[in-house]
Amino acid sequence: MTERISAAAAAHVAKLARLQLAPSELAQVTSQLDAMLDHFHDIDALDLDGIEPMTQPYPLVNVLRDDVVGPVLDRVEVLAEAPSAVDHRFGVPPIPGEAP
Amino acid sequence: MTATALQLAAAVREGRRTALDVVEEHLDRIAAREGELHAFNLVLVDQARAAALAVDEKVAAGVDPGPLAGVPVALKDNLCTRGIATTCSSRILDGWHPPYDATVVQRLAAAGAVVIGKTNLDEFAMGSSTENSAFGPTRNPHDPTRVPGGSSGGSAAAVAAGFAPLALGSDTGGSIRQPAALCGVVGVKPTYGAVSRYGLIAFASSLDQIGPFAATVADAAALLEVIGGHDARDSTSIPGPMAPISARLGDGVEGLRVGVIAELREGIAPDVLARVDAAVVALTKAGAIVDEVHIPAVTYGLTAYYLIAPAEASSNLARYDGVRYGLRVDAPDTEQMMAATRAAGFGPEVKRRIMLGVYALSAGYYDAYYGKALKVRRLMAQDFDAAYQRFDLLLSPTAPTTAFRLGDKTADPLTMYLSDVCTIPSNLVGHPAMSVPFGVGTDGLPVGVQLLAPTLGEVTMFRAAAVLEEAMR
Amino acid sequence: MNAVDTHSDYLIEGRTGTWELVVGLEVHVELATATKLFSGAPNHFGDEPNTNIDPVTLGLPGSLPVLNRQAVELAIRIGLALNCEIRPSTFHRKNYFYPDMPKDYQVSQYDQPICSDGWLELPSGTRIGVERAHLEEDTGKSTHQGGDGRIHGSVGSLIDYNRAGVPLVEIVGRPHLRSPDDARSYVLELRAILLAVEASDAKMEEGSMRVDANVSVRRVGDTELGKRCEIKNLNSVRSLGRAIDYEAHRQVDLIEAGERVRQETRHWDEGDGRTHTLRSKEDADDYRYFLEPDLVPLDPGAEWIEAVRAAMPLLPRERRSRLATAAGVEVTSPAVAIVVERGLDDLAVAAIEAGGDAGRVLVHAEHNLAVEGAEALRPAALAGLTRLEVGGQLTATQAKAVLTDLVTGGGDGDPAAIAAAKGFEAMDASALATMVDEAIAAQAGAWAKYLAGDEKAAGALVGSVMKATKGKADGKAVTALLQARRAGG
């Protein structure tokens, strides 16, 4: 069986997915992904030239709402669910780096 | 035989029974067997009693209490209920109380139904056995050493055990139909867009549909009629009301053309196939014209599904980051906090699918995996369209086997994935499909057969389901 | 090294040759809708933290987006104002983790934007290409605690999601700008357009208009683009110009020192007047774009687009052109741009059409009407005033005084009556000539210098005439008489 996903690629994927996996966990997931990806190459047998990708099952277009203010949530209720809330805002530890 | 939902609703509406009495009867059944089965994450004893009393007050006041008056309904625990814990059977949402109700929950309340509990599921609906729950597995009421199927295993088991005559589940790749088959109840995945997804915690947005579980075809139809129809809060909701189904249940199948999907006989247990063949006989006897049909692309459904669903899931589940609600694991900075929270909060199957989805979408692999899967999806839709030129309905097994034992398929994810091979195609193409109990296998456990229909073909599908149900009486 | 800051002739003379600047701007504007892009939560700046939130805004599990019709309408207006094609479009998810983004993905238009291939014409007449303008949702706002409010050294951040989900249009300009002045001009013109079509309040200070600049340099004559840096944190038009100028010189210095420009995002620091590395593009995230399955395609269609087009107001460019034609001046004349920017072009055009003197009308609109209440001035009154001026009945100074009274009086007074009430009567020519001769006689020294060619000496002579007439004399007429005397008249 050829290797479909390298350990380095899997580590990169875990970082993109924000999953802090222990080395043993990462190794196990990598080998499982590898087996799956291998199986998934069955579709390489299909001739898919000229076939439009299908993203949604039911074709709708222009589903729009009027620009009318609706109900808002009670911030006390919402912030009570937050792991950390300070001054009516959600608290997080320091953020490394600016948003893209 | 316990009363059906429609019988209960009629009794409550006509004042022959109180809703409270109905609820107490079901709470008693739950008390008797829930410890063994673990169908629920949460039984709503007080709320159910309060809701029942409100129904009884309406009846007493001469106000229409709704078509499902006093009928207990079990909700899969991925449907948002205002102020009531909604967990998706995940530690990452443990303790979260949504500040709003799902559209289907609002519609149930308006119909007089009584929510009796939140049912167990595979974490974030990812699984086929309900063993991937962070709160422990649900067991099959027909044989507690066996799984109820999944991911809506708690809802299927609740109906099978008589905890509630009705339940709601969600079906992304078979998560209603497969457990319905394994638990011997009716389970319906409606047309994509027929039931609002607003308030359904997303697994894979373009595949997810909410649908009913019931002990009878008529009960399932009644529940679908209550929850279905357009909702302005879901952009993918089909415009207009849902076509009435209940009134047509007795129309029979005389002259209907039914195709048996040849590709979905491969890899199916012989005792299950025997029941499909028995269904062919029953439908033929009722006047349907049954023939074999080939839908070549269904062979590739598993691959397309296990690329598309994890890709969407990887994005849908990004929001569980420890910032706004649910679990947080502390760490020196936000990036580490998120990664630690997600590592601690998600179970192994969810992590696997997120990894798979991120990989399938990532630069350099998109075209080879996700992009290709979307084309296979189109190909499958074309194959189904061709089949529906010749047939009104299609027939297949719902699941390859009867209920398997707990632990049997947990070692190898791919083996577990194969449980969905017959149900996945309907999600990919967005068509309705349902599982109808049709006898038992050689092990004495329930077997379900699957009826498939084209977009918005629910009425025809239910007519055939009623014929199969009648044949089993 | 010298910067020749003369509009599009901005070139940098380096040690090894002459360099050209290449700038493209990406501008995010918040749309002036009542509600958010995908939900009914209010779109309102400055409210108490976390009050304009609903399940969609917070990305709560189970919530779903529904597109705001008015946001689409405003995007179409912007597109039409920028001469774009309005096309069928779709929404994608841009996936990356950031705590001020509630779903940890941003819904944005990707390969099928609603507006594409347009242009914006600067007042100078130069056309700057617009690659696209697309709809997307804004993020929440983080406030960094400690570390002087900056990310570095912060002990934590607090997040307010009021801004999350506010509709944005991102306008991606092509790299056609060649000087800091042009970049400033582009932003000012874009702001004027956005205000004209009422799509946004476009306030850079409040963040409802946010400008990022992609800056690169290349040797004059080169056709390939250099490596570019994206400059962020440009909070005013002035910062934009300064940052581009700084960055251009930084890049030239770097290349001439034998180093290379790294493609990266840089942060403009208003305090030290420099740009600083924020993030290297080389470890760029992989955004895993895919079609947003919770939304359906958007195809406004010809009917909607034409209805929006029909309701479009005159744009700044069209207004400049109309005014220039009416006033008989070049469309690129600064007076035309200023008058349109002040919104006084309607008045000016109407006054000219009402028989006012075009030159005087333009002068008043440019210099004397930057006051409150000016727009209420009756065009016929302004026209009448300029007729009195050119008829010699009022001097420029008197006219200005009458104009001030006209405006403070509500705009519909009679200029002749006001002039009379103020005791303004034009001096007749012979009386003025006598006064000039008296001034020459009285200030022989100044006259001698003036005769010897010292133009400044005229000032003293004019001044004494003005004093003698209590300001009623027309300064220009006095100067003309002095010149005539010197020439031997």
**Does the predicted model carry a pTM greater than 0.95?**
no
pLDDT band at C5 (very low <50, low <70, confident <90, very high): very low
CA angle, residues B447, B452, B455, in degrees to nearest 5: 150
Please report, to the nearest 10 degrees, the dihedral formed by the alpha carbons of residues B161, B162, B166, B169 taken in order: -20
DSSP-assigned beta bridge partners for residue C58: none
pLDDT at C214 over 80: yes
Q: Which of B201, B204, B334 sits opposite C61 (nearest CB)?
A: B201
- The interface pTM score, or ipTM, of the predicted complex is 0.97
Q: What's the pLDDT tens digit per position in B205-237?
A: 999 999 999 999 999 999 999 999 999 999 999
Other CB atoms within 10 A of residue C257 CB:
8
Taking one residue from A and the other from B, the number of pairs with CB-CB distance under 8 angstroms is 168
pLDDT of residue C3: 36
Return all residues near C420 (Cβ < 8 A) that are at least 6 apart. none
Please tell me the total number of residues recorded for chain B in this structure: 473
Q: What's the pLDDT tens digit per position in C74-129?
A: 999 999 999 999 999 999 999 999 999 999 999 999 999 999 999 999 988 899 99
Q: Do B304 and A43 lie within an 8 Å CB cutoff?
A: yes
Q: Do B373 and A43 lie within an 8 Å CB cutoff?
A: yes
Cβ-Cβ contacts under 8 Å, B78 against chain C? 62
CA–CA distance, B328 with B340 (Å, rounded to integer)? 8
| CA-wise closest residue to B460 among B288, B291, B228, B215 | B288
* B125: region left, alpha or beta (phi > 0 left; psi from -120 to 50 alpha): left
Reading the block at residue B460, the tokens are 């025809």
Whole-angstrom distance between the N-terminal and C-terminal Cα of chain A? Answer: 39
pLDDT band at B102 (very low <50, low <70, confident <90, very high): very high
pLDDT at C2 over 60: no
Q: Which of B96, B324, B358 sits opposite C102 (nearest CB)?
A: B324
Q: Do A48 and B375 lie within an 8 Å CB cutoff?
A: yes
pLDDT at C478 over 90: no
Q: What's the pLDDT tens digit per position in C118-163?
A: 999 998 889 999 999 999 999 999 998 876 666 666 789 999 999 9
| Mean pLDDT to the nearest integer, A76-94 | 96
Please tell me the total number of residues recorded for chain A in this structure: 100
Q: Which of residues 88-127 of C touch B (CB under 8 A)?
A: 93, 95, 97, 99, 102-105
Q: What's the pLDDT tens digit per position in C7-52?
A: 457 999 999 999 999 999 999 999 999 999 999 999 999 999 999 9
Q: What's the pLDDT tens digit per position in B129-186?
A: 999 999 999 999 999 999 999 999 999 999 999 999 999 999 999 999 999 999 999 9
| CA-wise closest residue to B224 among B185, B182, B196 | B196
Return all residues near B415 (Cβ < 8 A) that are at least 6 apart. B409
In this complex, is the C-beta atom of A54 within 8 Å of any C-beta atom belonging to chain B?
yes
Query: Which region among A63-67, B266-270, C429-433 has the lowest average model confidence (pLDDT)?
Result: C429-433
What residue ranges in C174-282 does DSSP mark as E strands?
A: 209-219, 229-234, 264-269, 274-280
Other CB atoms within 10 A of residue C159 CB:
26
Cβ-Cβ contacts under 8 Å, A61 against chain C? 296-299
Instruction: Quote the distance between the C-alpha of residue C68 and its chain's center.
Output: 28
Other CB atoms within 10 A of residue C484 CB:
12
In this complex, is the C-beta atom of A52 within 8 Å of any C-beta atom belonging to chain B?
yes
pLDDT of residue B404: 97
pLDDT of residue C1: 35
DSSP-assigned beta bridge partners for residue C95: C105
pLDDT band at C196 (very low <50, low <70, confident <90, very high): very high
Are B271 and B403 within 8 A, CB to CB? no
| Single-letter amino acid code for the residue at B316 | N
Q: Which H or E run includes C181?
A: helix C180-196
| CA-wise closest residue to B438 among B181, B237, B199 | B181
Q: Do B333 and A77 lie within an 8 Å CB cutoff?
A: no
Mutate one of A13, A33, A52, A61 to test the B interface: name it (highest B CB count within 10 A): A13
Q: Do A93 and B314 lie within an 8 Å CB cutoff?
A: no
pLDDT at B361 over 50: yes
Q: What's the pLDDT tens digit per position in C299-355?
A: 999 999 999 999 999 999 999 999 999 999 999 898 998 999 888 999 999 999 999
In order of B77, B78, B124, C141, the CA distances from B118 in angstroms are 5, 8, 14, 35
CA–CA distance, C217 with C13 (Å, rounded to integer)? 12
| Mean pLDDT to the nearest integer, A44-69 | 96
Q: What's the pLDDT tens digit per position in B235-280?
A: 999 999 999 999 999 999 999 999 999 999 999 999 999 999 999 9
Q: Do C97 and A18 lie within an 8 Å CB cutoff?
A: yes
Reading the block at residue B174, the tokens are 């078979």
In this complex, is the C-beta atom of C286 within 8 Å of any C-beta atom belonging to chain B?
yes
CA–CA distance, C150 with C155 (Å, rounded to integer)? 10
Q: Do B234 and C64 lie within an 8 Å CB cutoff?
A: yes
Q: Which H or E run includes C30?
A: strand C18-30
Cβ-Cβ contacts under 8 Å, A29 against chain B? 348, 351-352, 355
Q: Do B321 and A17 lie within an 8 Å CB cutoff?
A: no
Cβ-Cβ contacts under 8 Å, A95 against chain B? 333-335
Q: Which of B98, B315, B325 sits opposite C93 (nearest CB)?
A: B315
Burial (CB count <10 Å: 0-12, 13-18, 19+), residue C155 = exposed
Residue B13, CB-side half-sphere exposure with 13 Å CA sphere: 16
| Mean pLDDT to the nearest integer, C216-238 | 93
pLDDT of residue C443: 86
Catalytic residues of B: 76, 151, 175
Helix H, strand E, coil C: the string for chain A is CCCCCCHHHHHHHHHHCCCCCCHHHHHHHHHHHHHHHHHHHHHHHCCCCCCCCCCCCCCCCCCEECCCCCCCCCHHHHHHCCCCEECCEEEECCCCCCCC
Find the residue in B nearest to C96 (Cα): B318
* B168: region left, alpha or beta (phi > 0 left; psi from -120 to 50 alpha): beta
CA–CA distance, C248 with C266 (Å, rounded to integer)? 13
| Mean pLDDT to the nearest integer, B418-433 | 97
Are B8 and B70 within 8 A, CB to CB? yes
In this complex, is the C-beta atom of C299 within 8 Å of any C-beta atom belonging to chain A?
yes
pLDDT of residue C459: 86
In order of B160, B276, B396, C117, the CA distances from B272 in angstroms are 19, 7, 10, 59
pLDDT of residue C189: 96
CA–CA distance, B330 with A82 (Å, rounded to integer)? 13
Are B169 and B152 within 8 A, CB to CB? yes
In this complex, is the C-beta atom of C40 within 8 Å of any C-beta atom belonging to chain A?
yes
pLDDT of residue C147: 66
CA–CA distance, B400 with B273 (Å, rounded to integer)? 9
- For B315-361, the DSSP string reads HHGGG-SSSSSS-----SSHHHHHHHHHHHHS-HHHHHHHHHHHHHH
Q: Do C139 and A99 lie within an 8 Å CB cutoff?
A: yes
pLDDT of residue C460: 86
| CA-wise closest residue to C99 among B402, B361, A97, B30 | A97
| Mean pLDDT to the nearest integer, C50-70 | 98
CA–CA distance, C205 with C396 (Å, rounded to integer)? 39
In this complex, is the C-beta atom of B206 within 8 Å of any C-beta atom belonging to chain C?
yes
Mutate one of A20, A84, A98 to test the C interface: name it (highest C CB count within 10 A): A98
- For C72-122, the DSSP string reads HHHHHHHHHHTTPEE--B--EEEE---TTSTTSEEEE--SS-SEEEEEEE-
Are B356 and B306 within 8 A, CB to CB? yes
Q: What are phi and psi of C409, to 5 degrees?
A: -85, 5
Residue A48, CB-side half-sphere exposure with 13 Å CA sphere: 24
Find the residue in C nearest to B358 (Cα): C288
Task: Scan for tokens 């189970």, then name that residue.
Answer: C62
Reading the block at residue C11, the tokens are 């070139």
| Mean pLDDT to the nearest integer, B425-447 | 98
- Mean of pLDDT over chain C: 91
Residue C288 DSSP label: -
pLDDT of residue B154: 98
Cβ-Cβ contacts under 8 Å, C93 against chain B? 315
**Chains linked to C by 3 or more Cβ pairs within 8 Å:** A, B
Q: Do B318 and C294 lie within an 8 Å CB cutoff?
A: no
In this complex, is the C-beta atom of C63 within 8 Å of any C-beta atom belonging to chain B?
yes
